[in-house]
Amino acid sequence: MIEFEPDRPRWQQVADILRGRIGSGEYPPKYLVSEVRLVQEFGVARDTIRKAIRQLRDEGLIYTVPNLGSFVSPPGEAESTKT
């Protein structure tokens, strides 16, 4: 578990970490972003993880397939979803 900053919502901090992992290539395109694994890793509620994933989806960094999960968007997808 990480130590969260007390003056920022945890979902924003989780989103920042995930954004960094996507940007660094630690989470490559089409990588499954598992809510269950992230809940265990960060020690937060599932709703917190869902808010972070929703933010990254709004930014085009992640896409969600119903009944399958959320995945890292391929390169160039973030730019095309902003238009």
Render pLDDT for 52-83 as a digit per residue (tens, 0 to 9): 999 999 999 999 999 999 999 998 765 444 44
Q: What CA–CA distance (Å, rounded) separates 77 from 65? A: 15
Strand partners, 72: 62
Delimit the domains of the chain by residue range.
10-73
Q: What is the pLDDT of residue 76?
A: 76
| Mean per-residue pLDDT of the chain | 92
Q: What CA–CA distance (Å, rounded) separates 69 from 48? A: 16
Please tell me what DSSP assigns to residue 34.
-
Q: What CA–CA distance (Å, rounded) separates 24 from 11? A: 20
Mean pLDDT over residues 40-53, rounded? 97
* Residue labelled with tokens 């869902």: 50
Residue 82 vs residue 26, higher pLDDT = 26
What is the dotted CATH code of the domain comprising 10-73? 1.10.10.10
Gyration radius (Cα) of the chain, Å: 12
